[in-house]
Amino acid sequence: KHDAEVCLYVDGKQVKRQAFDGGDLKPTQAPVTLLTGFALTKDGQTTQQGAVRDVRLWSRALTPEEIYGVRSKH
């Protein structure tokens, strides 16, 4: 069991941090679904504002400096 924090970075800057009980961590080859940016309009339609150009997942925690370094290479 791993207690941790999940941090969200946008353009190399941390924008959100939240405590997370990761539970038992087991490697998997299962697909990952990423949902982002959807909002329900008054008439029940969904819209997306903006675009996601790049998503990355690592098998270890990166330091803020490493995250900024990855961002600055693009």
What are the boundaries of each domain within the chain? 3-24+35-72
What was the pLDDT predicted at 1?
Answer: 46
With left for phi above 0 and alpha for psi between -120 and 50, is residue 12 left, alpha or beta? Answer: left
d(CA 65, CA 71): 10
What was the pLDDT predicted at 35?
Answer: 65
The Cα angle at residue 66 between residues 65 and 67, in degrees rounded to 5: 90
| Residue range 45-63, pLDDT digits in tens | 766 667 777 788 787 888 8
Q: What is the pTM of this model?
A: 0.49
